[in-house]
Amino acid sequence: MMEIKILIEGYSEEISEDKVEAEGTITLVKSTKNTIIDTGNVGSAKKIINELSKENLIPEDIDFVVNTHGDLDHIGNNGLFVNAAFIGFGSVCRGDKFDFFDGEFVINENVKVVKTPGHSMLDVSVIIKTDKGIVVAAGDIFENEKDQDGSKAKKWSMNWEKQLESRKKLLEIADYIIPGHGKMFKVEK
Ligand SMILES: [Zn+2]
């Protein structure tokens, strides 16, 4: 069984030049290995636990947590998932044990993690095979559906050229994209 649930839909609102209100998208992938992609802001724990309970899950049931990158709005509740292995850019961490990977890390036959640098240079995306096609949870490589031209994402990008390369790679394989701060959207081919 493969099921994708958006536990918290991310958003970002620019209040002024140096003020933003934002929450990163938190995604649950239910499969042979329950996986959480990003853990949102500190303070969102109650909401996460509540959303998980609707899926008959508790944080202890989560096998893997993927942090698409290290920004504060994507890692705030990592500590909830005490039984999980944590996947970041090129490494998987279980307690104090780190295993390194090049290229991709395979969670199971339907879920894998790939490196997609650009926004932070240490970004990863999760590629999920579903009945409806390939869904890619892309973190902040994509800000939201409206930002296809990247005018918003570019402002937060550490290396826009690399980010464009990552975008291209993901757009080629994805039927749907879950962006870091907005609704899932369909990729028009
Ligand atoms: Zn973000």
pLDDT digits (tens, 9 = 90+) for 89-111: 999 999 999 999 999 999 999 99
| CA distance to 34, 51, 61, 80, 109, per residue, from 30 (Å) | 5, 13, 10, 17, 13
Q: How confident is the model at residue 188 (pLDDT cuts 50, 70, 90)?
A: very high
CA distance 36 to 68: 11
CA of 62 to the centre of ligand 1 (A): 22
CA of 131 to the centre of ligand 1 (A): 28
pTM over 0.95: yes
Q: Does domain 3-186 bear CATH number 3.60.15.10?
A: yes
pLDDT for 1 beyond 80? no
pLDDT digits (tens, 9 = 90+) for 12-34: 999 998 999 999 999 999 999 99
CA of 94 to the centre of ligand 1 (A): 24
Q: Give the mean model confidence (pLDDT) for residues 134-146.
A: 97
CA of 159 to the centre of ligand 1 (A): 15
Q: Give the mean model confidence (pLDDT) for residues 85-90.
A: 97
CA distance 32 to 129: 13
Q: How confident is the model at residue 134 (pLDDT cuts 50, 70, 90)?
A: very high
